[in-house]
Amino acid sequence: MTVTPAQLRALASRAEALAAEVRAACAITPDVHPGEADPFVAARQAADWLTRATDDLRHAATDLARTQVEPCAMAWAVCPEHGNTLTSMAGVSTCRVCGHSTPTPRPGEPCGAPVTWKVIDPAGTETRMCAGHVLGARAVSQGATFIHLDQALT
Ligand SMILES: [Zn+2]
Ligand SMILES: [Zn+2]
Protein backbone atom coordinates (compact mmCIF):
# COMPACT_ATOMS: atom_id res chain seq x y z
CA MET A 1 0.00 0.00 0.00
CA THR A 2 1.26 3.45 -0.86
CA VAL A 3 0.49 6.34 1.45
CA THR A 4 -0.65 9.43 -0.40
CA PRO A 5 -0.42 13.05 0.75
CA ALA A 6 -4.24 13.08 0.77
CA GLN A 7 -4.29 10.24 3.31
CA LEU A 8 -1.88 12.12 5.57
CA ARG A 9 -4.05 15.21 5.27
CA ALA A 10 -7.10 13.14 6.21
CA LEU A 11 -5.26 11.87 9.31
CA ALA A 12 -4.33 15.44 10.19
CA SER A 13 -7.99 16.44 9.99
CA ARG A 14 -8.92 13.58 12.30
CA ALA A 15 -6.25 14.64 14.82
CA GLU A 16 -7.60 18.19 14.59
CA ALA A 17 -11.16 16.98 15.21
CA LEU A 18 -9.96 14.88 18.18
CA ALA A 19 -8.16 17.86 19.68
CA ALA A 20 -11.38 19.88 19.38
CA GLU A 21 -13.39 17.08 21.00
CA VAL A 22 -10.96 16.80 23.91
CA ARG A 23 -11.07 20.58 24.42
CA ALA A 24 -14.88 20.53 24.33
CA ALA A 25 -14.93 17.74 26.93
CA CYS A 26 -12.55 19.70 29.17
CA ALA A 27 -14.73 22.78 28.89
CA ILE A 28 -17.42 21.06 30.95
CA THR A 29 -16.35 22.21 34.39
CA PRO A 30 -16.63 19.52 37.06
CA ASP A 31 -17.20 20.25 40.69
CA VAL A 32 -13.66 20.98 41.72
CA HIS A 33 -13.46 21.60 45.43
CA PRO A 34 -11.14 24.37 46.55
CA GLY A 35 -7.61 23.12 46.95
CA GLU A 36 -8.15 20.12 44.68
CA ALA A 37 -6.13 19.66 41.53
CA ASP A 38 -7.81 20.33 38.18
CA PRO A 39 -8.51 16.81 36.86
CA PHE A 40 -8.32 18.00 33.27
CA VAL A 41 -4.70 19.18 33.24
CA ALA A 42 -3.47 16.04 31.47
CA ALA A 43 -6.42 16.02 29.06
CA ARG A 44 -5.75 19.63 28.04
CA GLN A 45 -2.12 18.71 27.47
CA ALA A 46 -3.29 15.83 25.29
CA ALA A 47 -5.34 18.29 23.22
CA ASP A 48 -2.22 20.41 22.74
CA TRP A 49 -0.27 17.36 21.59
CA LEU A 50 -3.02 16.50 19.14
CA THR A 51 -2.84 20.01 17.73
CA ARG A 52 0.92 19.60 17.30
CA ALA A 53 0.33 16.22 15.66
CA THR A 54 -2.07 17.92 13.25
CA ASP A 55 0.62 20.38 12.18
CA ASP A 56 3.25 17.66 11.89
CA LEU A 57 1.00 15.48 9.77
CA ARG A 58 0.26 18.40 7.44
CA HIS A 59 4.03 19.00 7.11
CA ALA A 60 4.53 15.33 6.34
CA ALA A 61 1.85 15.52 3.63
CA THR A 62 3.64 18.47 2.02
CA ASP A 63 7.01 16.69 2.19
CA LEU A 64 5.52 13.54 0.73
CA ALA A 65 3.86 15.44 -2.11
CA ARG A 66 7.29 16.84 -2.95
CA THR A 67 8.95 13.41 -3.10
CA GLN A 68 6.14 11.78 -5.02
CA VAL A 69 6.58 13.87 -8.12
CA GLU A 70 6.31 11.37 -10.92
CA PRO A 71 9.21 11.30 -13.39
CA CYS A 72 8.36 11.71 -17.06
CA ALA A 73 8.86 8.45 -18.95
CA MET A 74 9.00 9.87 -22.47
CA ALA A 75 12.17 8.72 -24.19
CA TRP A 76 12.68 11.36 -26.85
CA ALA A 77 14.62 14.56 -26.26
CA VAL A 78 12.78 17.87 -26.01
CA CYS A 79 13.62 21.40 -25.01
CA PRO A 80 11.93 21.89 -21.60
CA GLU A 81 10.48 25.17 -22.87
CA HIS A 82 9.93 24.67 -26.58
CA GLY A 83 9.26 20.98 -27.17
CA ASN A 84 10.18 19.42 -30.51
CA THR A 85 12.76 21.99 -31.43
CA LEU A 86 15.95 20.04 -30.90
CA THR A 87 18.61 19.38 -33.43
CA SER A 88 20.87 16.52 -32.49
CA MET A 89 24.53 16.61 -33.36
CA ALA A 90 27.52 14.72 -31.98
CA GLY A 91 25.59 13.45 -28.95
CA VAL A 92 24.25 16.88 -28.02
CA SER A 93 20.71 18.10 -28.65
CA THR A 94 20.34 21.84 -29.11
CA CYS A 95 17.10 23.83 -29.21
CA ARG A 96 16.70 25.82 -32.44
CA VAL A 97 14.67 28.45 -30.56
CA CYS A 98 16.59 29.17 -27.37
CA GLY A 99 19.88 27.32 -27.83
CA HIS A 100 19.25 25.10 -24.75
CA SER A 101 21.52 22.11 -25.16
CA THR A 102 21.42 18.76 -23.45
CA PRO A 103 23.17 15.44 -24.02
CA THR A 104 21.07 13.44 -26.49
CA PRO A 105 19.42 10.68 -24.45
CA ARG A 106 20.34 7.12 -25.33
CA PRO A 107 17.49 5.26 -27.03
CA GLY A 108 14.92 4.30 -24.41
CA GLU A 109 16.35 6.53 -21.71
CA PRO A 110 13.44 8.23 -19.91
CA CYS A 111 13.23 11.99 -19.61
CA GLY A 112 12.86 12.07 -15.81
CA ALA A 113 11.51 15.64 -15.60
CA PRO A 114 8.53 16.05 -13.22
CA VAL A 115 5.21 15.03 -14.73
CA THR A 116 2.85 18.01 -14.89
CA TRP A 117 0.43 17.06 -17.66
CA LYS A 118 -1.94 14.28 -18.53
CA VAL A 119 -2.63 13.71 -22.20
CA ILE A 120 -5.63 11.68 -23.32
CA ASP A 121 -5.67 10.66 -26.97
CA PRO A 122 -8.94 10.29 -28.92
CA ALA A 123 -8.89 6.52 -28.19
CA GLY A 124 -8.89 7.30 -24.45
CA THR A 125 -5.31 6.29 -23.73
CA GLU A 126 -3.80 8.37 -20.97
CA THR A 127 -0.14 9.40 -20.94
CA ARG A 128 1.49 11.51 -18.25
CA MET A 129 4.35 13.75 -19.23
CA CYS A 130 6.43 16.82 -18.39
CA ALA A 131 5.87 20.34 -19.71
CA GLY A 132 8.52 20.00 -22.42
CA HIS A 133 7.08 16.76 -23.72
CA VAL A 134 3.56 18.15 -23.71
CA LEU A 135 4.71 20.89 -26.06
CA GLY A 136 6.17 18.26 -28.33
CA ALA A 137 3.03 16.14 -28.09
CA ARG A 138 0.75 19.10 -28.85
CA ALA A 139 2.57 19.58 -32.13
CA VAL A 140 1.87 16.02 -33.27
CA SER A 141 -1.37 15.00 -31.49
CA GLN A 142 -4.67 15.53 -33.28
CA GLY A 143 -7.74 15.67 -31.07
CA ALA A 144 -5.96 14.80 -27.84
CA THR A 145 -7.01 16.35 -24.53
CA PHE A 146 -4.33 18.06 -22.45
CA ILE A 147 -4.96 18.38 -18.73
CA HIS A 148 -2.59 20.20 -16.41
CA LEU A 149 -2.17 18.30 -13.16
CA ASP A 150 -2.62 20.40 -10.11
CA GLN A 151 0.36 19.14 -8.19
CA ALA A 152 -0.12 21.30 -5.17
CA LEU A 153 -3.01 19.53 -3.46
CA THR A 154 -3.74 16.16 -4.97
ZN1 LIG B 1 14.15 25.97 -26.33
ZN1 LIG C 1 9.54 14.68 -20.31
pLDDT over threshold 70, residue 51: yes
106 Cα: distance to centroid of ligand 1 (angstroms): 20
Which ligand is the nearest neighbour of the Cα of 110?
Answer: 2
25 Cα: distance to centroid of ligand 2 (angstroms): 53
Confidence class for position 141, pLDDT limits 50, 70, 90: confident
Q: Supply the mean pLDDT for the chain.
A: 87
Q: For residue 80, give the nearest of 122, 116, 133 by alpha carbon.
A: 133
Which ligand is the nearest neighbour of the Cα of 119?
Answer: 2
pLDDT over threshold 70, residue 19: yes
pLDDT over threshold 90, residue 57: yes
Which ligand is the nearest neighbour of the Cα of 87?
Answer: 1
Confidence class for position 45, pLDDT limits 50, 70, 90: very high
Q: Mark 22-41 as b/e (b = at least 16 C-beta within 10 Å).
A: bbeebeeeeeeeeeeeeebe
Q: For residue 151, give the nearest of 130, 120, 124 by alpha carbon.
A: 130
Instruction: Give the strand order in the sheet containing 92-95.
Output: 86-89, 92-95, 101-103
What's the mean pLDDT in 123-152?
86
Q: For residue 154, give the nearest of 69, 59, 57 by alpha carbon.
A: 69
97 Cα: distance to centroid of ligand 1 (angstroms): 5
DSSP letter, residue 37: P
pLDDT over threshold 70, residue 151: no
Model confidence pLDDT, tens digit, residues 66-119: 787 888 999 888 898 999 898 988 888 999 999 988 888 777 788 888 898 999
State pTM to two decimals. 0.56
Which ligand is the nearest neighbour of the Cα of 99?
Answer: 1
140 Cα: distance to centroid of ligand 1 (angstroms): 17
145 has which bridge partners?
A: 120
Which ligand is the nearest neighbour of the Cα of 111?
Answer: 2
At residue 39's C-alpha, the angle toward residues 35 and 43, to 5°, is 150
52 Cα: distance to centroid of ligand 2 (angstroms): 39
113 Cα: distance to centroid of ligand 2 (angstroms): 5
pLDDT at 56: 97
Instruction: Give the strand order in the sheet containing 126-129.
Output: 126-129, 117-120, 145-148
